[in-house]
Structure 1
Amino acid sequence: MTAIDTAKPATRRTITHRLMRAARADRLAAVGAVVLVLIVIAAIAAPLLAPYPADGTDATHAENALQPPGSEHWFGTDGVGRDVLTRVLYGARTSLLIAGAVLAISAAIGVLLGVVAGYAGGAVRDVIMRITDVFLAFPALLLSVALALVLHPGVQGAIIAISASWWPWYARMSAVAATSIRSRGFIDAARCLGVSRTRIVLRHVLPNSLTPTLVQLSLDAGGVILTAAALSFLGLGPQEPTAEWGLMVQQGQSLFTTNWWVVAFPGLAIVITAFCFNVLGEGLRSALDPRREVTR
């Protein structure tokens, strides 16, 4: 085992220790993380937790339309009599699925291209960065809307449209990190040992470029959920009978002044989830900032 490899367990322990210490210091980020865990659990267990599971799909109950919150329907019912609490729980599944898929696709494409550009440099970096600049020239929401108009409305269309506007940020960030890492001593040592460029990139440059990416993922999750909700609000995201928070808000917007619960609860779910992701991301950025370690 080389000196490069033996340093990895210590690095992992250091990061874990810093995260645990940050959780004790930043109670708001810790609370945000706990709330997000509960939201994820509720989304996964929606068929078990929902009081009326059929309402999460295509069931309708015209005789129960627009009932206010009460003992039978804690969050009331919507315009076709479906239980709003059930729809919110199932909507969490859709919203988190879109956010997770978008971030996974964006990070996979962006980090890979960014690391290749940063490590290779020269013409390779110039070509990749110019392509990235073309995508960054458009506002993310505007580009997502334009692509969603071309694609078939639905969950898959929303994922593709948002991912296309999100990956360039990860590419640029990873390129900067890889450019800095390639000049460090352990990379020079690997080259001297005859390690191939592909192995250097995959084993050393890529793992050491992931810390800022993990922080950015947590910060971007809330933005992706808001973007997905915006597409659904415009009729370009998931369609009926799929439960999705933005779609629920769009369907109930005309009822807000008379039947506030149809809009309020899915809207509140969007705000709480986005806020928790933001505070968690800020907490992670503070915890993993190496400059804080220097000052302590």
Structure 2
Amino acid sequence: MKRRPVRHRPVPLAPPVARAPVDPERTTLYTPEELYDTPAYVDSLDARAYSWSREQHTRERARVRALHDFGIDEALDAWVAGRHLVGVMGGHAAQRGDQTYRAAARLGHVLGRRHVVATGGGPGAMEAANLGAWLATYPLEAVTTAIDGLAEVPGFAPSIQDWMVAAMTVRAGYAGGRQQPTSLGIPTWFYGHEPPNVFCDAVAKYFRNATREAILLEICDAGIVFLPGAAGTVQEVFQDACENYYATPDRVAPMILLGRAYWTEVLPAWPLLQALAGESVMAGHVHLVDSVDEVAALVRR
């Protein structure tokens, strides 16, 4: 009896990968040079990725973003292994050269001598803290000189291009004297209108802001310093407080609010934070200070 030929069902093809400027299989963190990979910011990887993220939602684009962020997660886990990180949280509004910017840079410089300084990776106080840490092996005078150069373009508005060029010029002038990673940025394309700063050894840039926020707080085992800021910084204060409140005693990291008048009068988060700490495991680990030197004495060694 003649057998009928076996008909195999066609194997469905995997859905095409959406056109994307980022690699969904990425295995390493970014460098500033990768994100700013063209002379004109508008053509750079950073700008292209932000523009692509704003395109109409599709299942394919969502899958690529999720895969990309998973790869950044894995790369960040590997990068922080064996390192102790202290977080510096602050707003984007500080202008290069102003008092807030200079104070954040000095803070980063002091902390960067013993730790990796991690920030949200954006402009303003974040850039200042990353700058100070990035120059930790240089004397403080070098930080002052760098800020004076940057202050010629005080902010990223109206021209990200000019802001980027000024930063890249300063970065190039000090790259040779550095020995080990001291500065990490964790920005997001959710706030893609705010460009990432270039004073980082590595940049863990995510599409999902919620993921980025949680991870930034989680990896700072040496403590977190909260500079005066607005809604985003206040959110980070109490998100970190929640983690510390429910942590085991060995997992509680110092929370340091810098600026007594700001955190008790302008945005009085301190009384609530102090009341929340109460007799919990985080009691004794929340601090309100007025000087950079006080901060340095409170972070974990």
Fold equivalence (TM over 0.5): no
- With normalisation by structure 2, the TM-score equals 0.19
Q: Give 1 or 2: higher helix fraction.
A: 1
- With normalisation by structure 1, the TM-score equals 0.19
Relative CO higher for 1 or 2, CA cutoff 8 Å, sep ≥ 6? 1
